[in-house]
Amino acid sequence: MSDHFAVESMVQAEDGMTPVFMHLSGHLRGTGTVLRNKTIQVNVDPGAELVFGEPSAERDHLTRYALLHRAGDSYELEVLGDNEVWCNGGRVRTHTLRSGDLIEFGPGGPLVRYRLVADGAHIQKSIMEIFSDSVGSARRDHLSLPARTGAFFSTLARDLSTHTTLAFRVTVVVAIIGLGVMVFLLNALNVRLQEQLAQESTRLENVAALLAQTQSEQLSRDELAALRREIAAEVAAATERVAALEARSAAIARVIAAAARSIVFLQGAYVFENPDTGMRLRYAVDAQGRKLTGPQGQSLLTTSGDGPIVERHFTGTAFVVTRGGTLLTNRHVARSWETDEATEALAEMDLVPVMTRFIGYLPEVTASFDVRPLLISDEADLAVLQCSDVAGGVPHLKLSDSVPSAGEEVVVMGYPTGLRSMLAQSGEAFIDALRKDSEFDFWQVARQLSAAGYIKPLASRGIVGQVTPATVVYDAETTHGGSGGPVINIEGEVVAVNMAVMPEYGGSNMGIPAAFALQLLSGLSVNE
């Protein structure tokens, strides 16, 4: 009356479409029964298994549940007596079966899926059908949650391995193997990277100490010579660290690659000027033009004479937030003099800071472009900048309108330590050529780095540790020069603007939530 067959067997019939019961429960799970006769009696044995037989045939150990009457290419289901039969979740007495119907014979009883299969074709299912059958199989096993979970995955695995095409199965196996290899490699890289980040953090602190001694981003030729010797031993490790960081996971790599083109390296300078006379602070020099020094060796300053003007240099990070080239950064970057200890002292001499130059560089764009402050926030450490059309064609980063959660993974991007970090990746040959350049200065170094393609932001990965209405705290590695950079979540959206480093708290950093930036931009007429 009925035939059981393995799922890869060939279905043969004379009607063009063959009716089949696919078993989703019991020991017959994963097999099918081809329905052939005009009338079939459906019985259930004590083990909750379906047994098919001749109409009106009675056996002591079987329960007569229903009759199947041939109706065209399908069957009509007739429930016998007071038996409970459900079709697609609804109890029925009679029902004309349609391909895909899910039929349950009694509470906790057999579960089958009715299908019409083309003659001569292997029985195959779509992914949605396999998933639906797996859910139905698990729901019918009145066991513990682990047992139902096991039933779901065992049915899913069986159907994927037997009810799909050979090409699909091979693809899945190759993908699983590839995923396993990738997970193994990523774990190994993660351990190695953590060790390298700890070493690199110490090196960056040493570099920061050198910058503090000069009180500016200006680099002397002697410093370049010392940096060259240091790089000879460390450049390989630094390059490997960056490569490992980008390879740790496909998702993070995509976020970094997509955002890198939008991260701006800022370079600026300001002087101190008397607003009434226009006279600027200079170094005092003798008749031969040599700088004069005081008893303690410090340079003497004056507002008269023709000595070199005292110019303060700074660097920072910004990022593109609109199609029109609007940039976002920190207030303390756009007004760097507000954190300069000399500003307050010179104010008593009626000298105020005046920005003399403010430019930016983008990766893959050789030429610099002018930058000007558009709006400075008085409520948060944020500033909106406007740049030339150079940044207009660069993809902009989207500001998130939601607050990150503690434990969420983020990436901080920027230019920590300014010029020095990029020089550390340029190599000995580049530094040797730079030292021989007769026009070597603060601005020339940046021009040469850009021309050689070395202006690229660094990325560090971390975890959000705390979120307050005013700040987001995370442990991604960064240092000065990275201020104003974006803090990006795994979806590639900016959740905060990097603001400050807190070394006393294990290297944690603080950022301004993106909500403050959205509010600041909402008051401007800028291209979204």
pLDDT digits (tens, 9 = 90+) for 340-361: 888 888 888 899 999 999 999 9
pLDDT number for residue 174? 77
Q: What is the CATH number of the domain that holds 42?
A: 2.60.200.20
Enclosing H/E stretch for 19:
strand 17-23
Report if residue 68 sits inside a domain.
yes
Is 264 in contact with 319 (CB distance < 8 Å)?
Answer: yes
Residue where the block lists tokens 């009607």 = 15
Residue 205 Cα distances to 35, 222, 333, angstroms? 78, 19, 20
The rounded distance, in Å, linking the Cα atoms of 179 and 172 is: 10
| Number of neighbouring beta carbons within 10 Å of residue 478 | 27
> Which of the four pLDDT bands, split at 50, 70 and 90, describes residue 333?
very high
> What value, to the nearest 5°, has the Cα angle with vertex 153 and ends 148 and 158?
125
Enclosing H/E stretch for 129:
helix 127-140
CA neighbor of 263 nearest in space, from 142, 150, 152, 363 = 363
Percent of the chain at pLDDT above 70? Answer: 76
Domain count for the chain, please give it: 1
Say which residues have a Cβ less than 8 Å from residue 508's Cβ, sequence separation at least 6: 465, 473, 474, 475, 501, 502
Report if residue 390 sits inside a domain.
no
Q: Torsions phi, psi of 497, nearest 5?
A: -110, 120
Kindly report the average pLDDT of the chain as a whole number: 81
Ranges 148-152, 480-484, 494-498: which has the least confidence = 148-152
pLDDT number for residue 446? 93
CA neighbor of 125 nearest in space, from 248, 8, 247 = 8
> Which of the four pLDDT bands, split at 50, 70 and 90, describes residue 210?
very low
The rounded distance, in Å, linking the Cα atoms of 258 and 363 is: 12
Report if residue 359 sits inside a domain.
no
Q: Torsions phi, psi of 150, nearest 5?
A: -65, -40
Report if residue 287 sits inside a domain.
no
pLDDT number for residue 503? 59
The rounded distance, in Å, linking the Cα atoms of 65 and 55 is: 11
Note down the domain range covering 137: 2-164
Average pLDDT in the 397-425 region? Answer: 92
The rounded distance, in Å, linking the Cα atoms of 453 and 444 is: 14
Average pLDDT in the 146-151 region? Answer: 69
Residue 446 Cα distances to 16, 218, 232, 257, 437, angstroms? 76, 11, 21, 22, 13
Q: What would the pLDDT profile of 2-46 be if each residue is shown by its tens digit?
A: 444 333 333 344 457 789 888 888 888 878 888 888 999 999 888
Report if residue 99 sits inside a domain.
yes
Is 521 in contact with 528 (CB distance < 8 Å)?
Answer: no
Average pLDDT in the 201-228 region? Answer: 53
Report if residue 10 sits inside a domain.
yes
Q: What would the pLDDT profile of 55-71 be if each residue is shown by its tens digit?
A: 876 667 788 899 999 98
The rounded distance, in Å, linking the Cα atoms of 399 and 482 is: 18
Task: Kindly tell me if the per-residue pLDDT of 122 is higher than 50.
Answer: yes
Is 512 in contact with 496 (CB distance < 8 Å)?
Answer: yes
Strands 17-23 and 365-376: unpaired
The rounded distance, in Å, linking the Cα atoms of 234 and 26 is: 64
pLDDT number for residue 206? 40
pLDDT number for residue 496? 96
**Ranges assigned E (strand) in 121-163:** none
> Which range among 111-120, 256-265, 292-301, 472-481 has the greatest average pLDDT?
256-265
Report if residue 277 sits inside a domain.
no
Report if residue 30 sits inside a domain.
yes
- DSSP labels, 388-454: -GGGGGSPPPPBPSS---TT-EEEEEE-TTTHHHHHTTT-HHHHHHHHT-TT-SHHHHHHHHHHTT-
Task: Kindly tell me if the per-residue pLDDT of 185 is higher than 60.
Answer: yes
pLDDT number for residue 169? 67
Tell me the pTM.
0.55
> Which of the four pLDDT bands, split at 50, 70 and 90, describes residue 142?
low
> Which of the four pLDDT bands, split at 50, 70 and 90, describes residue 166?
low
69-72: long-range pairs with CB below 8 Å, 24+: 69/38, 69/39, 70/37, 70/38, 70/39, 71/96
Task: Please indicate whether residue 108 or residue 414 has the higher confidence score (pLDDT).
Answer: 414
Is 474 in contact with 508 (CB distance < 8 Å)?
Answer: yes
